[in-house]
Amino acid sequence: MKTLRLAHTNTGDILNDLLKRSPNNYTEYEGTVSGIVEDVRKRGDAALFEYTEKFDGAKLDKDTVQVSEGEIRQAYDQVDKELLGVIRRSMANIRAYHEKQKRYGWFDTTADGTILGQKVTPLASAGIYVPGGKAAYPSSVLMNTVPAQVAGVEEIIMVTPPGKDGQVNPTTLVAACEAGATKIFKVGGAQAIAALAYGTESIPKVDKIVGPGNIYVALAKKAVYGHVSIDSIAGPSEILVIADETANPEYVAADLLSQAEHDELASAILVTTSETLAQEVSRWVDTFTAQLSRKAILEKSLNNYGYILIADNMDSAIAIANDIASEHLEIVTANPFEIMTKIKNAGAIFLGENSSEPLGDYFAGPNHILPTNGTAKFFSPLSVDDFVKKSSIIYYSREALKAAKDDIIRFAEAESLTAHANSIKVRFKD
């Protein structure tokens, strides 16, 4: 990790360095992705099966692309019962948290006969993308699917890449079944996103696509936006820790590495007011890295995007945290709640030394699908709101319209929209 004393001269360089990781900067892949997307749009299943065989090594057809009930039963037999219990307890926490996000319609009336309101309706269908292949991410299954189900989405279509044997990891299948996915398909990559966006003979078109994936998935979501809605274009994982002299350096180092191990583009940053803590954290990072199984990934991630930043004071530390707008932000200070009130930009905020980032990844309940690459300045975590839409309700009595008619006509005529004005005038021509 690079250790720097924070100054105005290097803040911009750090931000530019981190933004290089954004999917928007990988334009060399856009041609390949747009070609795949267009091919699936035109040829449907035929293109989908060809790309699945090419990229995942799995030969599928219309009879095997969807996960069967028999495969789900077999998955339950294969999953450790203790792990199944963990999945269910985690899901209960996720559901309880997201239930509190539910919105309801409302109406407001006045004495002259005006009724204004808002109608909240769940999306009819949602597509859930879950990374797969060699790895299994049941936590992502839960985080994507539970808020959709809480929102009331009737059709939740999950796609995930198969292994070369044409099978989906049993833990992923069990998590999907527990969370309420209605159909599961063994496809991944840009071709899966295209299938969800346009529909094929086997996979139905959805209204919205959510979930993280690799650069091809991110760029495919960007390409189909407008034909369907998407949650966001996710970039590599990141963590920023604000710490003072009271923090435990061993804990801080462990938490930084918990995100750095995701991939070589992951970012781990410590911002501290204590030089002593900075030195101790650096030492513990080296100690842990030498011991952990993903040592090679950790080393590349930390060498490229790992920083220990020493700030002159806590206000400077908070300012750089708000500029970076990290996906995960830990506050490990003497009074983390006070610091939290000054944070404007972060995906998820973890307070105190016992609230480590993996708590949010797996168990606490808030969603772990979060804005990355500085987009926490204007995006939010995945939530129930992502799976509903709102309609405005307007009712005016004749008396209420009469009181407002002159203002409406004047406004319309000021914009030279005489048909607008006329639709009001005809109601009062006598």
Question: What's the pLDDT at 29?
Answer: 84
Question: What's the pLDDT at 9?
Answer: 60
pLDDT in tens, 276-287: 999 999 999 999
Taking residues 10-36, what's their average pLDDT? 78
What confidence category does residue 134 fall into, taking pLDDT thresholds of 50, 70 and 90? low
Contact (CB, 8 A) for 212 and 68: no
Average pLDDT, the chain: 94
Q: Which among 280, 328, 353, 357 is annotated as catalytic?
A: 328
Hey, what amino acid is at 224? V
Question: What's the pLDDT at 28?
Answer: 80
User: Is 275 one of the catalytic residues?
Assistant: no
In the predicted structure, residue 392 carries a pLDDT above the cut 80: yes
pTM score: 0.92
Q: Which among 178, 261, 280, 327 is annotated as catalytic?
A: 327
User: Residue 118: CB partners within 8 Å, gap ≥ 6?
Assistant: 105, 106, 390, 391, 392, 393
pLDDT in tens, 219-255: 999 999 999 999 988 888 999 999 999 999 999 999 9
In the predicted structure, residue 135 carries a pLDDT above the cut 80: no
* CA 220/CA 31 separation, integer angstroms: 10
Question: What's the pLDDT at 8?
Answer: 65
pLDDT in tens, 90-118: 999 999 999 999 999 999 999 989 999 99
What confidence category does residue 375 fall into, taking pLDDT thresholds of 50, 70 and 90? very high
User: Is 327 one of the catalytic residues?
Assistant: yes
What count of other Cβ atoms lies within 10 Å of the Cβ of residue 344?
Answer: 12
In the predicted structure, residue 25 carries a pLDDT above the cut 70: no
